[in-house]
Amino acid sequence: MTRNSFEIAAAIDQFQPQDEEWLELDELLEELFESESPASGIPAMLRVFERYPTEDGAGVFWSIIHGMESLPDYEPLLVESVQSAPSESGLTMVNRLLNSGVTQINSLKLVQLFEQTAQNQSAPAEVRESARRFLKKHHSPD
């Protein structure tokens, strides 16, 4: 039986790696991107980053990054995710937006996300350090 995108997103939300094995998530992502509405899975994909803020999912998170970048209008949800639960992968996506010439989402300048994250004491130290590194890379003297 073929699942719809909402059922697949629910399965992504339930996913937990067993013994550092991320293959099941990769299969869920493939299923999502072949579904009728992959964009409906954007929140679930971002929640994976939020649950595992310093992981790369043994490379599987790149499937999320590339897949999400192929979908329309993911950017505001990405900003919300980074603001509420900063993650390495979320910051990587913001960096990639800046590298592509996008500097602002709605009224927020993307470098501000790095500033906020670098100061966010509830974010993992590794994530705060990545935010500082990206901020240094994109900081332009006034």
- Residues 21-59 have pLDDT tens digits of 999 999 999 999 999 999 999 999 999 999 999 999 999
In the chain, how many domains are there? Answer: 1
Q: How confident is the model at residue 129 (pLDDT cuts 50, 70, 90)?
A: very high
Q: What is the mean pLDDT of residues 67-82?
A: 97
- pLDDT for 53 equals 98
- pLDDT for 141 equals 59
Whole-model pTM: value is: 0.94
- Dihedral, CA of residue 124, residue 103, residue 57 and residue 69, to nearest 10: 160
Average pLDDT of the chain?
A: 95
DSSP code of residue 22: -
What ranges in the chain are assigned the alpha helix state H?
A: 5-14, 23-33, 42-51, 61-69, 75-84, 88-99, 110-119, 125-138
Q: Domain of 48? A: 5-138
